[in-house]
Amino acid sequence: MNHGVSGVDPEPFKRRLIELKAEVSKRIQSIDKHIRHEGMSADWSEQASERENDEVLESLGNSSEQDLAMIKFALKRIEDGTYFYCEQCGDEIPSARLELLPFTAYCVNCAEKIES
């Protein structure tokens, strides 16, 4: 069995990432369906109201696409054996951080530098 840092088993992280991937994919499909206005009302005023939400939906869709890309990258990192290490500095990412943010690729210090 391929264990990560300090003997931590990557399998629970992999299962969680696969679950998240399914959730995010489902969200993206739902957003796409709403943006395409499938099942849109025949009433013009209702259609106008439905279209007002398009910008918000597109923003949510873009965010979900970014989440999906990060999830896929995290799964690849598990396969590569690099999941428990920061992409920026190479230091260990604590498993507690990965439990909170399973698709993070950065330790706290590097994440703070990137965000600032």
- Tens place of pLDDT for every residue, the chain, 116 residues? 445 555 789 999 999 999 999 999 999 998 888 777 655 555 666 666 666 677 777 778 788 999 999 999 999 999 999 999 999 999 999 999 999 999 999 999 999 999 88
Neighbours of 63 (CB within 10 A): 14
Domain contains 13: yes
What's 49's DSSP letter?
H
Q: Please give the Cα distance from 2 to 29 (Å, whole number).
A: 34
Q: Are 92 and 5 in contact (CB under 8 A)?
A: yes
Domain span holding position 67: 8-84
107 in any annotated domain: no
How many whole angstroms separate alpha carbon 13 and alpha carbon 15? 5
| N residues, the chain | 116
Residue 18, domain member (yes or no): yes
DSSP 65-113: HHHHHHHHHHHHHHHHT-TTB-TTT-PBPPHHHHHHSTT--S-HHHHHH
Examine residue 111 and state whether it is found in any structural domain, yes or no: no
Residue 21 lies in a domain: yes
Domain count, the chain: 1
